[in-house]
Amino acid sequence: MNILQTIPLNHYIMLSALLFSIGAMGVLLRRNAIILLMCVELMLNAVNLLFAAFSVHHADGGGQVMVIFIMTVAAAEVAVGLAIIVMMFRKAGTTDINLFDTLKW
């Protein structure tokens, strides 16, 4: 705990902003639905890190409770997301989102 607190808050913000950007760029650039899902998870975990860091910084438990909320909801979201991807894979035989074009963009 003490070691963690010696790292300045700015470094945590930088790190999670970086992780968040990697996730966001992944969603925008990658074309495989499962990798998109992983990138979304990366974004959410960057946010979790930020919440935890701020929670320690403010000495307020709320941020950590929020992390638990986010993890729970993200688990539910991934369950639904994977089910949708499996359904789509059964119909289209691929997880490449560029090939999903029955509805015109």
Summarize as ranges the residues that interact with other proteins (CB under 8 A).
13, 16, 20, 23-24, 27, 33, 36-37, 40, 43-44, 46-47, 50-51, 53-54, 57-58, 60, 62-63, 65-66, 69-70, 73, 76-77, 80-81, 84-85, 87-88, 91-92, 97, 100, 102-105
**Considering beta carbons, is residue 2 or 102 the nearer one to other proteins?**
102
Q: Which residues of 24-46 are buried (b: 16+ CB within 10 A; e: fewer)?
A: eebeeeeeebeebbebbbbbbbb
Strand partners, 96: 32
